[in-house]
């Protein structure tokens, strides 16, 4: 699960075209919980999106541990110097208890299902 979260974060930043400054590295610690693992994935990406939008910080170093539906992450990154697209929201569709698809709303584009 930790590897999935890291790759999802990297994929989201890639879709956004995020480039970060290597100087003056920033560190952040996150503790999140959710009702299920799918919710944990969405909560993690929402938090990263909030930080990129609100503080212009993105991450490229991840130390993530997951215990059930609890996430503990130590993140390393830097200030965003450029980005190509804006992601407006992170959501997911559930079919029963199975995750059908993570959906990112990208400004100017249709919904993208991962």
Answer yes or no: is pLDDT of 95 > 60: no
**Distance set, CA 20 to CA 7, 16, 17, 74 (Å):** 17, 12, 10, 17
Q: What is the per-residue pLDDT across 19-55, written as a single tens digit (0 to 9) for each?
A: 999 888 999 999 999 999 989 999 999 999 999 999 9
Structure tokens at 40: 């944990």
Q: What is the per-residue pLDDT across 46-79, written as a single tens digit (0 to 9) for each?
A: 999 999 999 999 999 999 999 999 999 999 999 9
Contact in structure between 7 and 62 (CB atoms under 8 Å): no
Structural domains for the chain = 2-84 (3.55.10.10)
Contact in structure between 114 and 104 (CB atoms under 8 Å): yes
Contact in structure between 20 and 81 (CB atoms under 8 Å): yes
> Considering the entire predicted model, what is its pTM?
0.82
Q: What is the DSSP string of 74-94?
A: EEEEEEEEE-S--EEEEEEEE
């Amino acid at each position: 699960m930790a590897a999935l979260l890291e790759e999802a974060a990297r994929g989201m930043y890639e879709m956004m075209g995020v480039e970060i400054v290597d100087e003056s590295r920033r560190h952040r610690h996150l503790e999140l919980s959710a009702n299920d693992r799918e919710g944990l994935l969405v909560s993690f990406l929402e938090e990263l999106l909030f930080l990129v939008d609100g503080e212009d910080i993105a991450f490229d170093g991840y130390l993530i541990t997951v215990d059930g539906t609890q996430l503990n992450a130590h993140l390393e990154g830097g200030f965003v110097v450029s980005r190509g697209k804006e992601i407006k929201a992170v959501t997911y569709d559930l079919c029963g208890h199975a995750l059908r698809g993570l959906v990112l709303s990208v400004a100017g584009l249709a919904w993208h299902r991962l």
